[in-house]
Structure 1
């Protein structure tokens, strides 16, 4: 679940594209650019290459509770110094237009590697992939049929792609809740699945409800250890969908999230279920066109390699900036084109809080390039299966995606909503 998989070497000799000038130096030498990314005034620091930013400032800015001079203080200061060096070296390259995104200092800049891996909680196994095959084959066959039966030079799919808008952002339509924070729990699979359901429910009812992730962390069984052992140690969105089909979902206010510290409380005996889903659809793996078409209709739950996301600040990550070891679940909420660089991107929502990245979001270049995940059975995934999986898209984001089907409804809308 947490191993780093195949890394894809960056080609430093090639200037990829013109860097986004909005991410460049603020024009005042030696000053840091502060981005207030949430109403709570939490900070995400985009540091200029030569800015001196001390650990004392970091502790103050991010409300860290360390005793000066203690062993823990010194340990965290050493970690922070290493993280800061990586950020500033990368941003120096960015100022020379060698990269298309910037790294920054945030609440994770003093976390250990083990703690950072705890943010990840998704690992598709070969057995899990095999279970998806019948559904995927049906979708693929339907697409092929559409292609073979089309008239003229373009297939139905190609015609649909031609008619797609150049820009989609479900935030602008009010279809997504504000970014949440999973904390020190590998529960990204619950946030990804729940947030996809929230948006699907908005499409069905016209109302945006905040649903509970905690129920799935505490109550969803994972006997075959697909994607992990469950709870804070990973699972898949499909397992969440199956639970919802059997039991329904609960509102956040009735079953609030408490696993941010890594704990997994026992399941409540009778959660107040207020609705369910009609079903769910898995997209054909590694199909860029299918993802563009699908996200034009609704947000998608997807998986990717987020091993190096912890210090992302802004800009567009390209295929060369990522690995191929799928280990994290997020939500695809749109696409567009970066105005400064001209890069076509996908807009992805994370579950690390609003103070991370671009107010809780990251942009990934649209790519059909592929790499090999050489560790599909790492961690606690399902036993058996192949040793390698081909995953495509930036950070492998096109391999495993799904969405709830239409027909969602609240069974008994609460009177206080």
Structure 2
């Protein structure tokens, strides 16, 4: 079973209240909640969630339940705020007014799935990655959004797999590779320096395939940034393999309607969210935290939205990067419109693709 390292998230450095911590540095609401007081074990956590009869169900995963709390912290590179910094930041998030959308929400469909809307790109958009035991969610999710948008902008003519490794290794002005990074820097790197092709960890395709094996207990280090293709079977030169973007956006405190229109018109977006302890045991349904012990942050890819039939709860449809054996075949649904886990306010990132 896959073993993964969560990566903590951050806000854009230009924001007046931004946190300077890259992904890989977890934000804890109460140090005691995660440190001094023991968290429930996997069996108890799953039982608590399922007995709460909320909008989602939990399951015990061997890859998580077999890990000690310290091991879980180690996977996230946990660095707690000793001055209550996260709590103060939460207050700022709550006090900052959300943008009032000027777009017409009544014209939005109740259900939208990028895989079904952009049918020529369904296979590209439907790809679920495995970041393995590296805090690379910021690079993996950003690379996935980039390749989705290249395909959509080219009307399905360019089905490329963008190299998460190229971003992970070379977008390093502020980011720290497997120790965490900033999605906005990933998109800036795409626009300014370009990114090459690659493949997931189950294939050896493109210029720079993802170097880490899935389902591993090995803790990986960040590969060096090389300016050449690492797949000797790939015939195109590194510089000629570059893909470029433009118009990089880091949007915070968004109205959900704005996010919906962006996805509907241009494709999936990267989003930042807090990971609470119960989220690690998500199996199915519409997630909303039941036991909010914050463990860190995570970069994910929103591909659509809908309304759950049984519960009538609106949700975002989100692709994770923990392989297909987690959640709903690698996806999860999370409550929409209530800023659950700060997925709407913490930062949505994307860029426009330049296609020939």
What is the TM-score of this pair, normalised by structure 1?
0.60
Shift of 1:285: 1.8
Shift of 1:319: 5.7
Shift of 1:300: 0.8
- 1:317 maps to what in 2? 287
Paired residues of 2:276 and 2:291 also in contact (CA < 8 A): no
Give the alignment partner of residue 294 of structure 1, picking from 262, 265, 268: 262
- 2:67 maps to what in 1? 111
Shift of 1:403: 1.3
Shift of 1:204: 1.4
Segments ≥4 residues shifted beyond 4 Å: 117-123, 319-326
- State the secondary structure of the residue aligned to 1:203: helix
Give the alignment partner of residue 85 of structure 1, picking from 38, 41, 44: 44
Give the alignment partner of residue 169 of structure 1, picking from 110, 113, 122: 113
- 2:55 maps to what in 1? 100
- 1:340 maps to what in 2? 310
Shift of 1:213: 0.7
Shift of 1:274: 3.0
- 2:92 maps to what in 1? none
Taking the TM superposition and a 5 Å limit, the aligned residue runs for 1:11-410 are 82-91=41-50, 93-94=51-52, 98-106=53-61, 107-117=63-73, 120=76, 156-157=102-103, 160-172=104-116, 173=119, 174=122, 175-205=124-154, 206=156, 207-222=158-173, 225=174, 229-252=175-198, 253=205, 254-259=207-212, 261-271=219-229, 272=238, 273-297=241-265, 298-308=267-277, 309-318=279-288, 322=292, 327-368=297-338, 393-399=339-345, 400-405=347-352, 407-409=353-355
What residue ranges of structure 2 are gaps of 5+ in the alignment? 1-24, 86-97, 199-204, 214-218, 230-237
Q: Deviations over 1:21-68 (max 9, x none)?
A: xxxxxxxxxxxxxxxxxxxxxxxxxxxxxxxxxxxxxxxxxxxxxxxx
Shift of 1:84: 2.2
- State the secondary structure of the residue aligned to 1:240: helix
What residue ranges of structure 1 are gaps of 5+ in the alignment? 10-78, 127-139, 148-155, 369-392, 411-417
CA distance in 2 between counterparts of 1:328 and 1:5 reads 15
Are residues 361 and 263 of structure 1, via their aligned partners in 2, closer, same or farther at CA, if it must alter by over 3 Å? same
- 2:201 maps to what in 1? none
Paired residues of 2:271 and 2:300 also in contact (CA < 8 A): yes
CA distance in 2 between counterparts of 1:326 and 1:109 reads 18
Paired residues of 2:27 and 2:294 also in contact (CA < 8 A): no
- State the secondary structure of the residue aligned to 2:325: coil
Paired residues of 1:120 and 1:306 also in contact (CA < 8 A): no
Paired residues of 2:171 and 2:186 also in contact (CA < 8 A): yes
CA distance in 1 between counterparts of 2:161 and 2:269 reads 17
Paired residues of 2:191 and 2:248 also in contact (CA < 8 A): no
Paired residues of 2:145 and 2:269 also in contact (CA < 8 A): yes
Paired residues of 1:201 and 1:408 also in contact (CA < 8 A): yes
What is the TM-score of this pair, normalised by structure 2?
0.69
Are residues 210 and 363 of structure 1, via their aligned partners in 2, closer, same or farther at CA, if it must alter by over 3 Å? same
Aligned residues: 277
Shift of 1:303: 0.2
Are residues 360 and 197 of structure 1, via their aligned partners in 2, closer, same or farther at CA, if it must alter by over 3 Å? same
Paired residues of 2:302 and 2:319 also in contact (CA < 8 A): yes
Indicate the RMSD between aligned Cα atoms, in angstroms: 3.1
Paired residues of 1:323 and 1:395 also in contact (CA < 8 A): no
CA distance in 2 between counterparts of 1:109 and 1:89 reads 15
Are residues 85 and 353 of structure 1, via their aligned partners in 2, closer, same or farther at CA, if it must alter by over 3 Å? same
Shift of 1:267: 1.6
- State the secondary structure of the residue aligned to 2:253: coil
